[in-house]
């Protein structure tokens, strides 16, 4: 495992991890998460075939957490561009989980697909702050939004614990729950507030995609409703829809063997 500190948009320093060799796969995590969520992937035999790269998105994990640097889609696009450029990554597969889908599409809107071979959206979000985007979110998740931005420690931790549990179908082990809660708590409330306070529309970018897309989604996802990926499959010309039964918002964590098999097949088929 190699660690990097890479300057993204607006000179925000991003924490990046890099392991394995072969065709590059770049993982972009979701709202209030961390590159640590990809632990099962980084410790798998995917590293025998692919170069896996993940970074803490701005405001998260070990990356910088400025107060005012989250509303501009161009900054998010620059973050991905900086990682690809600094690590000399081309012909990449971009994996965007949940809010990470927005970040991937921010990049594609700004820079196109010249360096992109394919996209894997995992419980992905393509819009936020719009009627269509809100309709794709689960009611239990929406009920947590006020707590996400609370500066009261008890309220914040209670909300994040509920969120962590909402992200999976089965009950988490105490160790996994604490692991996930830890990297959620690291994200300041002002960052979670700023990420929710955006209006971004990428459905048209999905419809215009000229690379293959794998859509991975849990059938019991209570954060981003399964109907979202079904809608995306209708929008995208070259899309493969993979629905995971008895799975929540985190197929890559809940069913890593299947996720690895499908990701490997997708990447090698490009």
pLDDT in tens, 220-266: 999 999 999 999 999 999 999 999 999 999 999 999 999 999 999 99
The domain limits of the chain are 2-268
d(CA 28, CA 35): 8
Q: What is the largest CA-CA distance in the chain?
A: 49
User: Is there a contact between 256 and 41 (Cβ–Cβ < 8 Å)?
Assistant: yes
Please give the backbone phi and psi of residue 113, each rounded to the nearest 5 degrees, phi first. Answer: -115, 20
Record the pTM. 0.98
Q: Tokens 């209670």 belong to which residue?
A: 158
For residue range 76-85, list pLDDT tens digits in order: 999 999 999 9
d(CA 137, CA 92): 29
> What is the CATH number assigned to the segment(s) 2-268?
3.40.50.1820
């Amino acid at each position: 495992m190699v660690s990097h500190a890479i300057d993204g948009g607006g000179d925000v320093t991003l924490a990046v991890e890099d392991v394995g060799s072969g065709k590059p796969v770049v993982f972009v995590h979701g709202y209030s998460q961390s590159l640590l969520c990809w632990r099962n992937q980084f410790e798998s035999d995917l590293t025998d075939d692919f170069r896996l790269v993940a970074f803490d998105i701005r405001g998260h994990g070990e990356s910088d957490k400025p107060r005012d640097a989250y509303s501009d889609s161009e900054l998010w696009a620059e973050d991905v561009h900086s990682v690809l450029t600094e690590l000399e990554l081309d012909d990449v597969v971009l994996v965007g989980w949940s809010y990470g889908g927005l970040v991937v599409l921010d990049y594609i809107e700004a820079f196109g697909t010249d360096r992109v071979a394919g996209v894997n959206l995992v419980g992905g979000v393509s819009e936020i702050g719009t009627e269509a985007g809100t309709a794709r979110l689960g009611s239990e998740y929406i009920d947590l939004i006020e707590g996400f931005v609370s500066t009261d420690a008890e309220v914040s931790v209670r909300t994040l614990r509920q969120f962590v549990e909402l992200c999976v179908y089965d009950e988490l082990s105490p160790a996994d729950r604490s692991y996930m809660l830890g990297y959620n708590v690291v994200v300041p409330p002002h960052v979670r507030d700023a990420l929710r306070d955006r209006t971004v529309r990428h459905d048209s970018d999905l419809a215009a995609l000229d690379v293959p897309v794998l859509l991975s989604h849990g059938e019991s996802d209570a954060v981003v409703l399964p109907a979202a990926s079904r809608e995306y499959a209708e929008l995208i010309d070259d899309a493969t829809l993979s629905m995971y039964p008895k799975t929540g918002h985190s197929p890559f964590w809940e069913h890593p063997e299947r996720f690895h098999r499908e990701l490997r097949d997708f990447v090698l088929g490009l």
